[in-house]
Chains A and B, each alone.
Chain A
Amino acid sequence: MADETDIEIREELAAADAVRPEKFERAICIRGLKNQFGDAVVHEDLSLDVRSGEILGVVGGSGTGKSVLMRSIIGLQTPAEGEIEVYGKTLDTIADEEESRDLRRRWGVMFQGGALFSTLSVAENIQVPLREYYPRLDTNLLDEIAAYKVEMVGLPPDAGPKFPAELSGGMVKRAGLARALALDPALLFLDEPTAGLDPIGAAKFDELIRELADTMGLTVFLITHDLDTLYATCDRVAVLAEKKVIAVGTIPELLATEHPWIQDYFNGPRGRAAAGGNQTAKHPVFGGDRNS
């Protein structure tokens, strides 16, 4: 039996708990964002909404600040101007440490290189957030959670005790995803999840993201260069150019816009190839509701 204080603390926490992802129609709401490094302005007057439950792809040329945008949302980069609300809360204005932790555990982040802790095994990496936020969790349960997360992201059974250096590139990405999912977040940030993977591995990873998002009801903020990933997984796509989001919508909607960069992007040789390969797959963006 858990002791009385534990229950009390939990109830207090529950009472103070205002971050309730399922209540929000928009998971992320960005208004008038400005980011700059010295004189170089990366974003200016950037606005973007991420709807709850959708997979939003973020595309843009190199250096348009896709990663900077993600870092601003998760609080690794303080914006010069503008407001970023995640589930109705703004990170910089949260004074209360407890509240900011409460918000942080709603999201999971998978960095481009995996960013696994190299001195810990894969299973221990997955357990780090769990131990941090729920230190009273039973060790057996911790191990079981690590085991099923390893399975969920499609790692082989013997991957748990391995160290990051012993894993292949694809496995590192999967392990990074498992750690991002450790706390069962409502919101998942993926920074170029398929970069550096072979086409088969990348296709499997796309499938995995789609599957996990459906099973766990995730909202996904997905930065990518990979056109196949856009066609295979994303509900909507946001295009970053000229320091702001120039267009958001499904791929057919984007194709209807006149903007030269968007036209070049989707109608270039690679864009067409990716579109051709996916039309037969009968995907949501080309009609059909994935929730049906």
Chain B
Amino acid sequence: MVARADFEHSDGADGAEVRFTGRLTLARLGDVPARLDALGPIATLDLSAIDRIDTVGAWIVTRAAKEHGSKVVGASAEAERLLDALASDKSEYRVHRDRRPAWMRMLEQVGDASAAVWNELLGIVGFFGAMIVALGTQIRARRRLRWNAIVTRFQTVGVDALPIIGLMSFLIGIVIAQQGAVQLEQFGLEVFTINLVGRASIRELGLLMTAIMVAGRSGSAFAAQIGTMKLTEEVDAMRTIGVSPMEAIVLPRVAASTITMPLLGFYASLCAIAGGGLFCWVGLDIPPLTYIQRLREIIPMTDFWIMLIKAPVFGILIGVTGCYEGMQVRQNAEEVGQRTTSAVVAAIFLVIVLDAMFAVFFSTLGWN
């Protein structure tokens, strides 16, 4: 059987004489450190009776010897080597970061977060500017746009998103119609459900829901792809070869999302209207033909223009935010995840803020 670490002590004139036994190792340490601490002054530490010692055991001995100024006797050559290795002063070796009081850390966090939001906004605006400059040089140098890259992105940003966006919009159309009908029925005006669904989908909801979905699907993908490329130094390699990453990576993605957004938005609006129509037919007994005829009467052309004006702006915003966040990755894989999250959050937030501003702007124009 293997003996665990232990010690016996006898009181001497200058303090206790401690005699260790067993294996003074990490695995067999047991309560030795605690009992040793509980002891008063120690004059000598006797290692002659131990079976084995490792660095942890040696550290316990060194620590006690330093604290009490005691002598270490009976150490074998092996123990002596370990004790020597641990003898130097370790007080300057730090283990934890500096801790500040909680209120200070909270203030610090609020400050840091605010500064981070501001810097991020500035960064996105700056990145947008850099992208415009890159586009300018590309046009001036008469280099062709990378259509291949753009078209590939059409596939992933646009075509692949059709089923999910269509289904989502269709369901939202049903929900709006159903909720609207419940309220309007109280006044006997359930026929106005058509107005509600038609105008809300074309003017706001179709596009807004599309933007949120595209930000979640493609904005995040942009950030993750570019972030990974940064980590593997692909972006740096591109630069050294003389290919501008702005031209090769960023522009195609932003172009794709800008061009796809109006198409997806329009498609989403149609799906929402179809969903609303289905509910009107089944729930309110309004036949599809009447529904369509009514839609033509109540939706002004301006609603359509509003959607078409907003859509590319949202597209640029989502593309730029995704690419910007991806480009900010510097250190490790974890950052890719963080940047991807903030790409989505920032894009959705900015889309909604811009949408509110557009709403005020168009109302002031009189496009009601």
Residues of A within 8 A of B (CB): 1-2, 6-7, 10-11, 13-15, 17, 20, 22, 105, 118-119, 121, 123, 130, 133-134, 138, 141, 143-152, 157-158, 160-161, 164-165, 181, 183-184, 214-217
Chain B: number of interface residues, binned into ranges: 35 or more
Q: Which partner residue on chain A sits nearest B334 by CB separation?
A: A118
Q: Are A161 and B93 in contact (CB under 8 A)?
A: no
Q: Are A6 and B31 in contact (CB under 8 A)?
A: yes
**B residues in contact with A149, CB < 8 Å:** 55
Contacting residue for B81 out of A17, A22, A146, A215, CB 8 A: A215
Q: Are B55 and A184 in contact (CB under 8 A)?
A: yes
| B145 within 8 Å of A (CB atoms) | no
Q: Are B85 and A105 in contact (CB under 8 A)?
A: no
B30 to chain A, nearest CB (A): 6
13 contacts between A and B (CB under 8 A): A2-B31, A10-B4, A118-B334, A133-B27, A138-B33, A141-B33, A147-B93, A147-B95, A148-B90, A161-B96, A184-B26, A184-B56, A215-B85
Contacting residue for B93 out of A14, A105, A148, A181, CB 8 A: A148
Docked complex Cα distance between A214 and B82 (Å) = 10
Q: Are A160 and B2 in contact (CB under 8 A)?
A: no
A144 to chain B, nearest CB (A): 7
Docked complex Cα distance between A158 and B96 (Å) = 9
**A residues in contact with B52, CB < 8 Å:** 22
Contacting residue for B26 out of A2, A20, A134, CB 8 A: A134
Q: Are B34 and A14 in contact (CB under 8 A)?
A: no
A146 touching B1 in the complex, CB below 8 Å, given contacts A22-B52, A184-B25 = no
A143 touching B30 in the complex, CB below 8 Å, given contacts A20-B2, A214-B81, A216-B54 = no
B48 to chain A, nearest CB (A): 18
Docked complex Cα distance between A217 and B53 (Å) = 11
| B128 within 8 Å of A (CB atoms) | no
**A residues in contact with B94, CB < 8 Å:** 147, 157-158, 160-161
| B8 within 8 Å of A (CB atoms) | no
A143 touching B331 in the complex, CB below 8 Å, given contacts A152-B85, A214-B81 = no
| B100 within 8 Å of A (CB atoms) | no
Docked complex Cα distance between A119 and B27 (Å) = 27
**B residues in contact with A160, CB < 8 Å:** 93-96
**A residues in contact with B90, CB < 8 Å:** 144, 147-148, 151
| B302 within 8 Å of A (CB atoms) | no
Q: A15-B2, A152-B55 are in contact. List 19 more A-B contacts (CB 8 A).
A: A2-B34, A7-B31, A22-B52, A105-B27, A118-B332, A123-B96, A145-B59, A147-B93, A150-B93, A151-B90, A158-B94, A160-B93, A160-B95, A161-B97, A165-B331, A183-B26, A214-B81, A215-B85, A216-B54
B289-329: which residues lie under 8 A (CB-CB) from chain A? none
**B residues in contact with A215, CB < 8 Å:** 81-82, 85
Q: Are A143 and B96 in contact (CB under 8 A)?
A: yes
B264 to chain A, nearest CB (A): 37
Contacting residue for A145 out of B2, B25, B30, B56, CB 8 A: B56
**A residues in contact with B34, CB < 8 Å:** 1-2, 138
B1-33: which residues lie under 8 A (CB-CB) from chain A? 1-4, 25-28, 30-31, 33
| B35 within 8 Å of A (CB atoms) | yes
User: 7 smallest A-B Cβ distances: which pairs?
Assistant: A2-B31, A184-B54, A147-B93, A165-B331, A123-B95, A157-B92, A161-B97
**B residues in contact with A17, CB < 8 Å:** 2
A7 touching B26 in the complex, CB below 8 Å, given contacts A146-B95, A161-B97 = no
A11 touching B81 in the complex, CB below 8 Å, given contacts A147-B90, A216-B55 = no
Q: Which partner residue on chain A sits nearest B335 by CB separation?
A: A165
Q: Are B95 and A7 in contact (CB under 8 A)?
A: no
B54 to chain A, nearest CB (A): 4
